[in-house]
């Protein structure tokens, strides 16, 4: 497995990480605990050293799962987790008060069975709390040795700059993929300027870019995609043209659509580390295969032409979730 450094921070991780949310939360029924542990340990054996969690995934269950699964090789992996929701429940609203950040840190350390959090993200910007206070609190936790690196998720340019001035950010985690390219407009340039790494979540479009989802796909009631406008029937049908384009390119490269989607992200910048999630071993192996795919200048030009000619239908979040995104 190739390694990458997240910006100028010095934090080195596998070129592909593992987003662990779906093992416990958000995408249908939770994976059986022992099966999830097997998957996490298989990921490590196959070279993945970067694992992404949050107190909100469950809540709490995902951190507990990682704590148990990664314990045998804790010092050989980088664990990222997040604070920022009241009681770890997104529906209850945001809470980045300094006292809550400290509380979450202490509790996450316990659940993760570790003495330090490698990368501690603010899950979403809290408009009620000055970002300087948030960054300052994480800075103190770093001084105390409880946290190693600071990150933010879905933050806008202004708050990135303010936070970075107090405590340098190692990484920003936001959605970025072939069907959500907004970060290219303002976010990627400022990250490059400041030397901050980028960790795209949902790099496979919540499963859409694998080609395994079509207009007949039925999502479970506790699957977040059931309420996402992009997965509504008419929008989904219209968006399948993107899969046709990616599949055609994948056949030329003797790869899968998912591998092309991930290889495309990896080719954007050397400090980008996608974190696709999966509950299946064969998908894990497929995703890892993307790291070895090299896209030529012609390949990238062909993909760009295809993407530019496609209109994506439907918002990426339901209206009630849009207010939690900092712009």
Q: Over the stretch 155-170, which tens digit does the pLDDT of each residue have?
A: 999 999 999 999 999 9
pLDDT > 70 fraction of the chain, expressed in percent and rounded: 99
d(CA 285, CA 261): 15
The answer, yes or no, to whether residue 149 has pLDDT greater than 70, is: yes
- Which domains are delineated in the chain? 3-322 (3.20.20.100)
Q: In whole angstroms, give the CA distance from residue 12 to residue 74.
A: 15
d(CA 288, CA 295): 15
Mean pLDDT across the stretch 50-54? 98
- The count of other CB atoms within 10 Å of the CB of residue 72 is 9
Beta carbons of 208 and 243 less than 8 angstroms apart = yes
Contact 199, 11 (CB under 8 A): no
Active site amino acids: 57
Cis peptide leading into 59, omega within 30 of 0? Answer: yes
Confidence of residue 320 (pLDDT cuts 50, 70, 90): confident
The pLDDT tens digits for 83-135 are 999 999 999 999 999 999 999 999 999 999 999 999 999 999 999 999 999 99
Contacts of 312 (CB under 8 A, 6+ apart): 179, 180, 230, 239, 242
How would DSSP label each residue in 238-295? HHHHHHHHHHHHHHHTT--HHHHHHHHHHTT-TTB------S-HHHHHHHHHGGG---
Confidence (pTM)? 0.96
**Nearest-CA neighbor of 122 among 154, 99, 167, 158?**
154
pLDDT value of position 103: 98
pLDDT score recorded for residue 323: 61
Distance of alpha carbon 189 from the chain centroid = 19
Supply the DSSP string of 66-77, one letter for each residue.
HHHHHGGGGGGS
SS3 state of residue 14:
strand
């Amino acid at each position: 497995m190739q390694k990458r450094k997240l910006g100028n921070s010095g934090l080195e991780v596998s070129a592909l990480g593992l987003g662990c949310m779906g093992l416990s939360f958000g995408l249908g029924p939770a994976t059986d605990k022992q099966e999830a542990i097997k998957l996490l340990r298989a990921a490590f054996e196959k070279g993945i050293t970067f694992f992404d969690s949050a107190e909100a995934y469950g809540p709490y269950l995902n951190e507990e799962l990682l704590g148990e699964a990664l314990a045998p090789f804790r010092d050989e992996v980088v664990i990222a987790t997040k604070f920022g929701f009241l009681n770890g429940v997104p529906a209850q609203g945001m809470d980045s008060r300094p006292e809550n950040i400290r509380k979450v840190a202490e509790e996450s350390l316990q659940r993760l069975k570790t003495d330090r959090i490698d990368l501690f993200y603010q899950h979403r910007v809290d408009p009620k709390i000055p970002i300087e206070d948030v960054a300052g609190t994480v800075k103190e936790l770093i001084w105390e040795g409880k946290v190693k690196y600071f990150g933010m998720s879905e933050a806008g340019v202004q708050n990135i700059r303010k936070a970075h001035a107090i405590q340098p950010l190692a990484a920003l985690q936001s959605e970025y993929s072939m069907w959500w390219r907004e970060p290219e407009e303002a976010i990627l340039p400022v990250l490059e300027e400041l030397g901050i790494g980028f960790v795209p979540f949902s790099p496979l479009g919540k499963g859409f870019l694998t080609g395994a989802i079509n207009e007949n796909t039925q999502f479970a009631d506790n699957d977040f995609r059931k309420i996402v406008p992009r997965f509504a029937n008419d929008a989904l049908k219209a968006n399948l043209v993107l899969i046709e384009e990616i599949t055609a390119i994948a056949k030329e490269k003797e790869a899968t659509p998912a591998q092309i989607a991930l290889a495309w992200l990896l080719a954007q910048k050397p400090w980008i580390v996608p974190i696709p999630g999966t509950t299946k071993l064969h998908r894990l192996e497929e995703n890892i295969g993307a790291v070895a795919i090299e896209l030529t200048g012609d390949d990238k030009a062909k993909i760009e032409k295809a993407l530019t000619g496609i209109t994506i239908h439907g918002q990426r979040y339901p209206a009630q979730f849009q207010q939690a995104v900092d712009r």
